[in-house]
Amino acid sequence: MGEFDFSVWGPSLPFIRDGLLFTLRLTLIAMSGGIVIGTLLALARLSPVKPLSLVAGAYVDTMRSIPLVMVILWFFLVIPFLTGTPVGAETSAIITFTAFEAAFYCEIMRSGIQSVPRGQVWAAQALGLTQTQAMVHVVLPQALRNMLPVLLTQTIVLFQDTSLVYAIGAKDLLKAADVVGKNYNRPVEMIVLSALIYFAICFSLSLAVRQLQKRVAIVR
Amino acid sequence: MIEIRDLSKAYGGTPVLKACSTTVAKGEVVVVCGPSGSGKSTLIKCVNGLEPFQHGSITVDGVSVGDPKTDLPRLRARVGMVFQHFELFPHMSVRKNLALAQIRVLGREADEADARGLRLLDRVGLVAHADKHPAQLSGGQQQRVAIARALAMDPVCMLFDEPTSALDPEMIGEVLDVMVELAREGMTMMVVTHEMGFARQVAHRVIFMDHGEIVEDAPAAQFFAAPASERAQGFLARILHH
């Protein structure tokens, strides 16, 4: 073992940038898709229509009971089987994460919806709004606002978890660092670099969430 | 305007309303009072269908509330309601609170809804607060906004569910003033309240409830001068001399 040689960081940057961009894209798509689908799942879970709430509940419980890395591998194998064509590791990762995170965002949105007092729904309905209008204009905006810090914290976890796409060879930040490390025979230095990038992004996001929590606390 | 006939309701096996019947004529102000748990809030929430009921019937301006074919949102849009805890929408400015249902339910243009909202805010003396959020207003101000919000829908009658019970004493007056003015203009009102001063001043009739029953339904003057039932006498004695 020789000494550390961090000069590999310079030439690695274009690869690292591409990997990071994919990681960010994956996080953003899975977050927005996950929140939208998760909200629909939450509405289904809270629905008085029994079959709807049972199906949504089963979906959420299943997703939350399987290790993410297995879901990633499983989707990677199953999606080509279902569609008949291989979709590639990146697309597979995006679909998987959206579907998986939806289960977690669902539970957050569900408690968010339940945190809105019953009187708010009464007031909306007393003004003549339909149930759907009351949900869209009165309940969901408040649920989102109440849950914003929790949703963002879940997104930070999601950002870290995207490194698991490594398992199917999608070219994310970790994979880029790994490839460069192998090419230059400097794996440790490259792992350190990727860890620093994950840390810097997650830590600043956490600080931002903490600030946000203070502001939300004042408004409430 | 409002006709309640033989209304009964139970939560699980517990009866909360027992064969209640009464009417509120157009332009009439009726105060509903009684000890807590007597069913008065439930009764008023049945009138616009916020609470379902099992037996009896309610018609509001000729429309049957309990009929499954009734378009409840459409009926509720014509019946104003004011709640104990104001229930303004906290994520919207006062202006937007007033405009939302006018636009979404009545299909008014945004400008028209806003102008109507501002006129009503002016009427309750709060036009200067139009761009604030509810949390920036005092309880009394919030309740006045809530009344304006209900009036913005041009209701045929107004329901008040303990509108002053959650207010600090010094704010009760400003809300009652708005309600008195409304009553004097001839608005049909059904008001659940313990404010007997308000009842004496503007109510045509007083309904006294206890244990889910309408025990007494009498002209206001008669109710205060000589309540017929012992339970109403006891209730009046408790709330007037404490």
Structure tokens, A64: 């939350």
The predicted structure's pLDDT at residue A205? 93
Closest residue of chain B to A123, computed from CA coordinates: B87
Interchain CB contact of B157 with A (< 8 Å): no
The predicted structure's pLDDT at residue A79? 80
Instruction: For residues B187-209, give the mean pLDDT.
Output: 94
Cβ of A142 within 8 Å of Cβ of B135? The answer is: no
Q: How far apart are CA B62 and CA A171, in angstroms?
A: 68
Closest residue of chain B to A118, computed from CA coordinates: B87
pLDDT band at A11 (very low <50, low <70, confident <90, very high): confident
Chain segment B140-160, per-residue pLDDT in tens: 999 999 999 999 999 999 999
Whose structure tokens read 């339909």? A130
Whole-prediction pTM: 0.87
Chain segment B118-139, per-residue pLDDT in tens: 999 999 999 999 999 999 999 9
- The residue extents of the domains of chain A are 12-216
Three-state SS annotation for chain B: CEEEEEEEEEECCEEEEEEEEEEECCCCEEEEECCCCCCHHHHHHHHCCCCCCCEEEEEECCEECCCCCCCHHHHHCCEEEECCCCCCCCCCCHHHHHHHHHHHCCCCCHHHHHHHHHHHHHHCCCHHHCCCCHHHCCHHHHHHHHHHHHHCCCCCEEEEECCCCCCCHHHHHHHHHHHHHHHHCCCCEEEECCCHHHHHHHCCEEEEEECCEEEEEEEHHHHHHCCCCHHHHHHHHHHHCC
pLDDT band at A22 (very low <50, low <70, confident <90, very high): very high
Nearest Cβ partner for A142 among B72, B83, B91: B91
Fold that domain A12-216 belongs to in CATH? MetI-like fold (1.10.3720)
Cβ of B105 within 8 Å of Cβ of A137? The answer is: no
pLDDT band at A87 (very low <50, low <70, confident <90, very high): confident
The predicted structure's pLDDT at residue B28? 95
The predicted structure's pLDDT at residue B90? 95
Tell which of B91, B100, B116 to mutate to test the A interface (max A CBs under 10 Å): B91
Tell which of A113, A118, A122, A127 to mutate to test the B interface (max B CBs under 10 Å): A127
pLDDT band at A54 (very low <50, low <70, confident <90, very high): very high
Closest residue of chain A to B50, computed from CA coordinates: A122
Q: How far apart are CA A67 and CA B118, in angstroms?
A: 56
Torsion angles phi and psi, residue B168, rounded to 5 = -65, 150
Chain segment B51-86, per-residue pLDDT in tens: 999 999 999 999 999 899 999 999 999 999 999 999
Q: Is the pLDDT of residue B241 over 80?
A: no
Closest residue of chain A to B81, computed from CA coordinates: A126
pLDDT band at B240 (very low <50, low <70, confident <90, very high): confident
Interchain CB contact of B50 with A (< 8 Å): yes
Q: Is the pLDDT of residue A220 over 50?
A: no
pLDDT band at B178 (very low <50, low <70, confident <90, very high): very high
